[in-house]
């Protein structure tokens, strides 16, 4: 237990977290501090580019582990399955209607790449290694949850219209799979794999050295956006929902832990799979939901994902998952 607390304390004082808190605070006091949209998008491209490439290089270094395929499979299953758990929980714990509950559930099956990056950086500071291909697992987990959410609506929604549309949404699956962040992450991963350590040496001082600093800026921005969302959607955040936003990542993390143990991932890898399962999407899934489930209220799912679960994972969740993985796994 001691370690959890000291880890959490150390984590809470890292610049990454502090800049997120600065963003939150600035938004709460209504400061006009803001990061241009183009800059935020570019920072996000940088992070995907760097994390994908480094993952690919790491796989090319260590060879393709026998567990790679199993991990990808586990990611697929987790992403498909978690929304069902989340949906059940939401319907019992909160007063959300079917459509809103399904939309929120979809977010929790998918993943947040920044949470993943933050976990990587905690691992690093603890001197822990992890399987490089978990970056690919992250990419694989982005989309399936969306299909689960649509299936839930089709199955449980009274409104035939919504159900129809959810299924009939032309081209949506294609769009989800070819989503910019998936393509960039997977593409950079493959390129990293192909160019290996020699390629890494070429661009190391772009994607390794400044990485943490860029992450700080990005988290400042996420704090600003999350803070503005929380402020304007505070009235939606009933206790039940907030509780769900903290409970669900724990459940996800446990599921991730079980999967990682079955596969036999390293401690570091276990933490990352737990983090992926625990995290909720805030880029790809919201966009898909606006197209497929326009009736769902974006204030609810965005605030849950970005305002509650993201900060929880960032501050307390990741150290907790690390403690669990170190105590029981590895």
Partner 1 sequence: MEMKDAKRVEIIIEAPMENRLTDVLDEAGVTGYTILPVMGGSGRSGRWSREGQVSIAGGMVAIICIIRPDRLEGLLEAAFSVVERHIGVVTVTDCSVLRAERF
Give, in order, the Cα–Cα distances in Å from 196 to each of 59, 140, 191, 214, 252.
Answer: 9, 22, 8, 23, 33
Stretch that binds Na ion, among 5-13, 176-184, 199-207, 279-287 (CB under 5 A): 279-287
Q: Any contact of residue 158 with partner 1 (CB under 8 A)?
A: no
Among 81, 187, 247, 264, binds a second copy (CB under 8 A): 187
Find, among 316, 299, 322, the residue nearest to 20 by Cα.
316
Site track 249-288 with a second copy (rule: CB under 8 A), x = hit? ----------------------------------------
> CA-CA distance, 189 to 179, in Å (whole number)?
15
Residue 146 near residue 110 (C-beta atoms within 8 A): yes
Q: Any contact of residue 294 with partner 1 (CB under 8 A)?
A: yes
Find, among 312, 180, 201, the residue nearest to 321 by Cα.
312
Q: Looking only at residues 259 through 288 of this chain, which bind partner 1 when binding is defined by CB under 8 A?
A: 282-284, 286-288
Stretch that binds partner 1, among 32-40, 95-103, 124-132, 257-265 (CB under 8 A): 32-40
Q: Looking only at residues 204 through 223 of this chain, which bind a second copy when binding is defined by CB under 8 A?
A: 205-207, 209-214, 216-217, 220
Among 8, 47, 51, 53, binds a second copy (CB under 8 A): 53
- State the angle between helix axes of 134-141 and 37-62 in degrees (0 to 180), rounded to the nearest 10: 130
Q: Which residues bind partner 1 (CB under 8 A)?
A: 32, 34-37, 39-41, 44, 165, 170, 221, 224-225, 228, 232-233, 282-284, 286-291, 294-295, 297-299, 302
């Amino acid at each position: 237990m001691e370690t959890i607390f000291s880890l959490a304390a150390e984590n809470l004082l890292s610049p990454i977290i502090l800049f997120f808190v600065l963003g939150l605070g600035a938004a709460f006091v209504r400061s006009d501090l803001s990061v241009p949209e183009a800059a935020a998008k570019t920072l996000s491209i940088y992070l995907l580019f760097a994390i994908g490439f480094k993952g690919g290089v790491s796989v090319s270094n260590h060879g393709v582990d026998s567990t790679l395929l199993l991990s990808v499979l586990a990611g697929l299953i987790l992403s498909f399955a978690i929304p069902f758990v989340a949906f059940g929980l939401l319907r019992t714990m909160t007063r959300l209607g079917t459509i809103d509950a399904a939309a929120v559930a979809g977010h929790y099956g998918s993943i947040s790449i920044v949470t993943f990056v933050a976990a990587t950086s905690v691992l690093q500071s603890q001197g822990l290694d992890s399987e490089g291909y978990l970056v690919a697992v992250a990419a694989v987990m982005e989309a399936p949850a969306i299909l689960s959410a649509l299936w839930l609506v089709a199955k449980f929604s009274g409104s035939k219209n919504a159900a129809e549309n959810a299924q009939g949404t032309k081209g949506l699956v294609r769009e989800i799979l070819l989503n910019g962040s998936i393509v960039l992450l997977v593409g950079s991963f493959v390129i990293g794999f192909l160019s290996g350590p020699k390629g890494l040496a070429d661009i190391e001082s772009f994607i390794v050295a400044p990485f943490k600093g860029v992450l700080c800026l990005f988290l400042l921005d996420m704090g600003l956006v999350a803070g503005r969302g929380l402020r304007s959607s505070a009235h939606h955040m009933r206790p039940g929902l907030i509780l769900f936003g903290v409970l669900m990542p724990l459940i996800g993390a446990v599921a991730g832990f079980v999967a990682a143990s079955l596969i036999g991932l390293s401690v570091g890898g276990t933490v990352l799979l737990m983090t992926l399962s625990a995290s909720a999407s805030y880029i790809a899934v919201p966009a898909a939901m606006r197209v497929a489930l326009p009736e769902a209220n974006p204030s609810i799912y965005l605030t849950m994902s970005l305002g509650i679960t993201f900060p929880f994972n960032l501050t307390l969740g990741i150290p907790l998952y690390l403690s669990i993985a170190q105590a029981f796994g590895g």
